[in-house]
Amino acid sequence: MITTRLATDAQSLAEAGRLLAAGCIVAFPTETVYGLGADATDPKAVARIYAAKGRPSFNPLIAHVDTVDAAFALGDFNADARALAKTFWPGPITLVVPARPDCPVCDLARAGLDTVAIRVPADPIAQAILRAAGRPVAAPSANVSGHVSPSEAQHVLADLDGRIDAIVMGSASEVGLESSIFACIGDEIVLLRPGAVTRADAERVIGHAVALPDQTSEANPLSPGRLTSHYAPRAPIRLNASAIRPGEACLAFGQETPPGADPERTFNLSPSGSLVEAAANLYAGLRYLDSLSPVGIAVVKFSKNGLGEAIFDRLQRAASPR
Ligand code: TXA
Ligand code: MG
């Protein structure tokens, strides 16, 4: 299969929408990471996503729509979910809500669950594609399953060139980390995946505490995608490194580089110590260091507050045994 490269002019984006509506799988940029889209109402198209990514089919997908009203048509939003939707959409946040009985997102995209994960992305290119598609678009991150998510078009091609119908060649994703995921089922709001909209951001809006998922049960149907080993480069990752060992590459942050770091094998996520910049650079940095085939990637210690919670979550998954 030859993967068509599409530009980002209005005509090309309309073409991307037409391809999606016709059952093709198309990668496109969003402000979080690049997604691999398919018509969420068409199980044959969705099955092609799972095949291209090599994704276990029990792991459900996020349905992307262009407006908050289109999102409200898919699921039952309680008061908290509505408040989060109206405050943070369009934006880098996904809400898991009970699916409406007439929810058109197919069983395969929802992995047979009676809930549905929904996101309204803010990226104008993603918006234009969703408008043109005219239906919910299921889109996981556009990487081989378990691998580092793609924050640039080149990352997508490195993983999936020749395995997908088309890719919209946009610029690097602004946020660089997958969306925050909040489950809004029953009375509790549960943070399933930290991201750019932080726990504190959500708590300010709903006026009460956000719960964390039960870490002991990976099989919890509330969070099927919380596989411990995930977002992983090939090289093993070592966290909270205060010194770099021979042969290791170094993922640095802030002004100081740890002793033993080889400048040729060091990637600094943010020399000025900005967590926003670090998030945006994280996946490009991991992919770059991995491409040097080091014996391991040592990651320096950094703050776990705010956006640091999401960055640390991804690094912990990248570091866990496979
Ligand atoms: O930023 C993002 O969220 C990107 C862009 C493309 O939108 N998408 C993304 O999708 O990261 P993916 O498939 O890589 O991660 C979606 C996560 C998975 O961990 C999945 O298990 C979880 O969302 N999920 C999807 N539907 C769910 C549901 N009904 N209940 C609980 N978790 C769900
Ligand atoms: Mg993913």
Cβ–ligand 1 contact at 35 (below 6 Å): yes
> Can you give the pLDDT of all 322 residues of the chain as single tens digits?
999 999 999 999 999 999 999 999 999 999 999 999 999 999 899 989 988 998 766 689 999 999 999 999 999 999 999 999 999 999 999 999 999 999 999 988 998 899 999 999 999 999 999 999 999 999 999 999 889 999 999 999 999 999 999 999 999 999 999 999 999 999 999 999 999 999 999 999 999 999 998 755 444 445 544 545 556 788 999 999 999 999 999 999 999 899 999 999 999 999 999 998 999 999 999 999 999 999 999 999 988 888 899 999 999 988 987 7
Q: Are the C-beta atoms of residues 168 and 129 closer than 8 Å to each other?
A: yes
- Report the pLDDT value the prediction gives residue 157, as an integer from 0 to 100: 98
Ligand 1 mutation pick, 94, 107, 125, 313, max ligand atoms within 8 A of CB: 94
Cβ–ligand 1 contact at 225 (below 6 Å): yes
Cβ–ligand 1 contact at 62 (below 6 Å): yes
- Report the pLDDT value the prediction gives residue 213, as an integer from 0 to 100: 86
- Report the pLDDT value the prediction gives residue 59, as an integer from 0 to 100: 82
Which ligand 1 atom lies nearest to the CA of residue 32?
1
Whole-angstrom Cα distance, residue 160 to residue 144? 7
Q: Give distance in angstroms: CA of 184 to centre of ligand 1.
A: 14
Ligand nearest to the CA of 94: 1
Cβ–ligand 1 contact at 197 (below 6 Å): no
Whole-angstrom Cα distance, residue 238 to residue 19? 42
Whole-angstrom Cα distance, residue 247 to residue 105? 48
Q: 0.85 cut: is pTM over it?
A: yes
Q: Are the C-beta atoms of residues 189 and 210 closer than 8 Å to each other?
A: yes
Which ligand 1 atom lies nearest to the CA of residue 143?
14
Residue closest to 193 by CA, chosen among 57, 67, 316, 106: 316
Ligand 1 mutation pick, 25, 62, 123, 141, max ligand atoms within 8 A of CB: 62
Structure tokens at 45: 């198209």
- Report the pLDDT value the prediction gives residue 51, as an integer from 0 to 100: 86
Residue nearest to atom 18 of ligand 1 (CA): 225
Cβ–ligand 1 contact at 278 (below 6 Å): no
- Report the pLDDT value the prediction gives residue 320, as an integer from 0 to 100: 83
Beta strands 180-185 and 93-98 are parallel
Q: Give distance in angstroms: CA of 64 to centre of ligand 1.
A: 10
